[in-house]
Every structure is written in structure tokens, then in C-alpha cells.
A = this chain, B = another copy of it.
Amino acid sequence: MSAWTPPPPGRHVYEYPRPAVAVDCVVLGLDTDDLKVLLIRRGVDPWKGAWALPGGFVGEREGLEAAARRELVEETGIGEVFLEQLYTFGEPDRDPRHRVISVAYYALAKLSDFKLTAGTDAAGAGWHPLSKLPALAFDHATIIDAAVARLRGKVRYAPIGFELLPPRFTLTQLQRLYEIILERELDKRNFRKKILSLDLVIETDEKQTGVRHRAARLYRFDRKKYDRLVKHGFEFAI
């Protein structure tokens, strides 16, 4: 940036070839027993017909996160989700035709809010388990790996897991969430003790419904309290 020099006379900076700038979104959702990622089917070349991350080019006067949210709504109908910048991918040959730099974002969605059909739907969008992803366009498999690594790293030190659950959840659901993301089993009693000792997950007087065994109590995450504690130096940790 600091090395920018004015374009020489007679030429304008816009005459130089510049990379195109895109955003791509890795939307992760939690299913019964695995994480899923939302993919769309590409309708145009290159990689026509392949599965790809939702995304697209950044508008001329549009912020990066704004572009990511716009693409998410346009291509998948998803709005109002947790969205965070992940990494910027800019290898010169990641797009076979011309230089495209992609600012990747990852989003955490409550799967229940976005029930697409299991594989593919009319709009060409579908949830795919991370364990069996189809062939993906461009370097999108790498981008997904980075998103999952970020989630795994961050879920233990930040209360982002709740973004994957409905507003009211059982402690067992929460435990399953950590087990799925961290890929290891947790002890039920120790988990509950730990979670409840943080005093950020508070019990409601509601119970689980539509279940054919003893109904569990529903809890909710107290974000206001969390925000307050963070201001005083509190650090969340599981």
C-alpha cells in the first residue's frame, strides 16, 4: 500500500490488469451426528456442474463482509448468521482462467433453520457431510479444511458453538456438538459440571418435546452475561 505510486501519465492504474476479488462462504451446520457444509452446484464454466462454495465477486463499493452476506442470501437464502472472515486465498493459478483472489468467510448456521433436501434441491444447494464431500471446484476443498480447522480451534475458547444450535437446547445436544467438532468423547457428568460452572448456560422451564423417552430440560446461552463478563477480562474455555 505504501509503495503505491501514481500511475504514469497517459495511463491509468485501472488499465493494469488486476486480480478480480471474490468472496466465498463456508457455511457449516450441525446435523444429528456430523457437521455439514452447504454447497451449490455451479451453473457456469469453469467447473460447470461441480459443487462449489457459495460466493461471488465483490461489488465496486461493497465491503467484503457485506459481499459475503449478499452472496449467501442470493445463492442460499441464508441471512442473519454468524459470519467471520477466515483467510484470503490468492495463489495465482487457483482459477484456471484468470487471477482471482478470494476472501473466504465461514458461517455457522442452525441446520434446522435451513432444511434443504438432504442432497440437492431445486435451487441446486445442498448440505454435504464433511466426511464425504463431492469433488469440489477450484481450491474449495482447501477452504473448507481451513474453516473446519478454525472452528475446531475456536470452539474451545469462544462461545461460538451455540451458533450451531437452536436458541433452546438440551445439555446432551451441547455435549454432542463438542464431541462432533472436537472428534472425541466427553464424559457426561464432567461436561455438565464444567458447562454449568461457567454460569453462562441457564436453565429454562421448558422441556424437550416430540421425543419418545424422558424429556430433557432446555437451556439457553446467556449472551448478555457473556458480553458483560468478557469486558471484565473473563475468558471462556471448555
Contacts and interface: CB of A to CB of B under 8 A. Distances in A.
Interface of A: 1-6, 13-14, 16-24, 40, 42, 44-45, 52-58, 60-64, 71, 74-75, 85, 87-88, 90-93, 95-103, 137-138
A214 to B, nearest CB: 36
Given A98-B13, A101-B64, A58 B19 contact: yes
Given A3-B71, A88-B88, A103-B90, A19 B21 contact: yes
Contacts of A85: 87-88
Given A58-B90, A61-B99, 12 more contacts: A1-B22, A1-B55, A2-B55, A2-B75, A3-B54, A3-B71, A14-B20, A18-B21, A19-B60, A62-B92, A63-B92, A64-B101
A90 B19 CA distance: 14
Instruction: Count identical subunits in the complex.
Output: 2
Given A85-B88, A88-B85, A103-B88, A60 B3 contact: no
Nearest to A17: B4
Given A20-B13, A21-B21, A2 B62 contact: no
